[in-house]
A and B are shown apart, each in its own frame.
Chain A
Amino acid sequence: MVDDNTLLERRNVVKKIVDHRGNAKIITGLGSPTYDVFDAGDSHSNFYLWGGMGGTAMIGLGLAMSIPDTPIIVITGDGEQLMGLGSLASIGVQKPNNLAIVVLDNGHFGETGMQKSHTSYGINLCKIAEASKFEFFFDVVSNNDLENLIEILPPVKGPIFANIRIKSQNPPRKLPILDGVELKNRFRKNLGVEPL
């Protein structure tokens, strides 16, 4: 087990990834990852989920296969990814080289009272990604590990999976807009598509 005090802080981790996004589109899983990415800097290339728990990686896959020349980074939590475990297998079948799945793993369900998640009981998402034929998989526990991950972001030779162990803390919520239609339209406009 890793000592919680030595673990990375979620907002610092996310800021670093967002700063290295290049031209990547970012999809965020509901709860803290949505707040973290918004806090790191809003962009019309971000699509924030406020619901649909378990679906973030598959939205990433659908997008990655639709715009194969653009890198896609999915940033989500351990609980959200655990609900969509099957999607790692579905991604492994398609193997899009422009997709990275980044899990912020605090080992807990942070939005609902910090109940322990499966990763606290030793379930290893990185090994599941490895078994699901991801091209690269990172178990990130230190700044050094994070630097190694960031070196291959934005993703071009993926799919990449990174499980980043972070402190189980709840920084102040930073809330992006809730309006899903607006989030969709601004994202598509940014790709040059006008709303229907």
Chain B
Amino acid sequence: MKVDDIQNNWEEKLFSLLLDHKIDFLPYVPDAGHAKLIALAEKNKLLKPVVLTSEEEGVAFASGSWLGNKKSVLLMQSSGVGNCINMLSILSKCNFPFVTLITMRGEFGEFNSWQIPMGQATKKTLEAMGIIVHRATHPSDVCPLVDAALYGAFSSDQQIALLLSQRLIGKKKW
């Protein structure tokens, strides 16, 4: 199984942006679409990747890190959003700043139809729990949207999800 090669370097730019915003931790449940970012973080001592067993752990971890005045960005794929639902209530009750980058499955060119239900429900689920949702479809969208999300979250306690579309990350080859 391979992911389409991406012809540009939006992941490197994204990584630099996370460093510019002084993000401390990248809690994650991996996805092929995040592989490059996680690999870059593993090489870099300024931004610590934290592997999770389930995505909801990352919501709690990010909240705890903010209690200690550090910044986390949660990486997951769309199927993980369903695992987070109740834990997201902490964010709205405490107004914790929160940014998650979600690689989409279950949409553009999806082969595995079992990914469709959660992929199609991802945006609605997040919005139902009070998260602001933005979507990047083209590589040039990613950095401006992430920049705005990080600014909004960590300067004024917003909760923002950025969906990285399946068209952007490349459809999975089977």
Judged by a CB distance under 8 angstroms, whether B51 is at the interface is yes
The interface stretch among A4-12, A62-70, A108-116, A162-170 is A62-70
Which B-chain residue is minimally distant from A56 (CB atoms)? B60
Give chain A nearest CB distance to B23 CB in angstroms. Answer: 12
Instruction: Identify which of residues 5-20 in chain B touch chain A, using a CB-to-CB cut-off of 8 Å.
Output: none
A63 in contact with B64 given A87-B53, A94-B50, A180-B95 (CB within 8 Å): yes
CB-based contact A58/B61 at 8 Å: yes
How would residues 38 to 79 of chain B score, 1 for a CB under 8 Å from any chain A CB and 0 otherwise?
A: 000000000010111110111111111111111010000000
How would residues 18 to 35 of chain B score, 1 for a CB under 8 Å from any chain A CB and 0 otherwise?
A: 000000110100000000
Judged by a CB distance under 8 angstroms, whether B173 is at the interface is no
Chain B CB within 10 Å, residue with most, of A62, A87, A196:
A62
| Cα-based distance from A191 to B97 in the complex (angstroms) | 17
In the assembled complex, which residues on chain A have CB atoms less than 8 Å from the CB atom of B65? Answer: 62-63, 65-66
Judged by a CB distance under 8 angstroms, whether A188 is at the interface is yes
Judged by a CB distance under 8 angstroms, whether B3 is at the interface is no
| Cα-based distance from A52 to B173 in the complex (angstroms) | 37
- Complex partner residue of A84 from B25, B48, B57, B94, CB under 8 angstroms: B57
- Complex partner residue of B61 from A59, A180, A181, A196, CB under 8 angstroms: A59
Judged by a CB distance under 8 angstroms, whether B2 is at the interface is no
In the assembled complex, which residues on chain A have CB atoms less than 8 Å from the CB atom of B97? Answer: 196
| Cα-based distance from A86 to B57 in the complex (angstroms) | 8
Judged by a CB distance under 8 angstroms, whether B112 is at the interface is no
In the assembled complex, which residues on chain A have CB atoms less than 8 Å from the CB atom of B69? Answer: 66-67, 188, 191, 193
CB-based contact A181/B53 at 8 Å: no
CB-based contact A51/B93 at 8 Å: yes
Which B-chain residue is minimally distant from A184 (CB atoms)? B94
CB-based contact B95/A181 at 8 Å: yes
In the assembled complex, which residues on chain B have CB atoms less than 8 Å from the CB atom of A90? Answer: 50-53, 57, 61
Q: How many residues of B are in contact with the other chain, CB < 8 A?
A: 37
How would residues 94 to 116 of chain B score, 1 for a CB under 8 Å from any chain A CB and 0 otherwise?
A: 11110000000000000000000
| Cα-based distance from A65 to B69 in the complex (angstroms) | 11
CB-based contact A183/B94 at 8 Å: yes
Interface residues of B (CB under 8 A from A): 24-25, 27, 48, 50-54, 56-70, 72, 86-87, 89-90, 93-97, 155-157
Q: List 16 A-B contacts (CB under 8 A).
A: A51-B90, A54-B56, A54-B87, A58-B58, A61-B50, A61-B61, A62-B70, A65-B25, A86-B57, A90-B50, A90-B52, A93-B51, A181-B94, A184-B94, A193-B69, A196-B155
Extra contacts, 20 of them, besides A54-B56, A193-B69 (Cβ < 8 A), are A25-B67, A51-B86, A52-B87, A52-B90, A56-B60, A59-B63, A60-B64, A62-B27, A63-B65, A67-B69, A86-B54, A87-B53, A87-B57, A90-B50, A90-B52, A90-B53, A181-B95, A184-B67, A184-B94, A184-B95
Interface residues of A (CB under 8 A from B): 25, 27, 47, 49-67, 84, 86-87, 89-90, 93-94, 180-181, 183-184, 187-188, 191, 193, 196
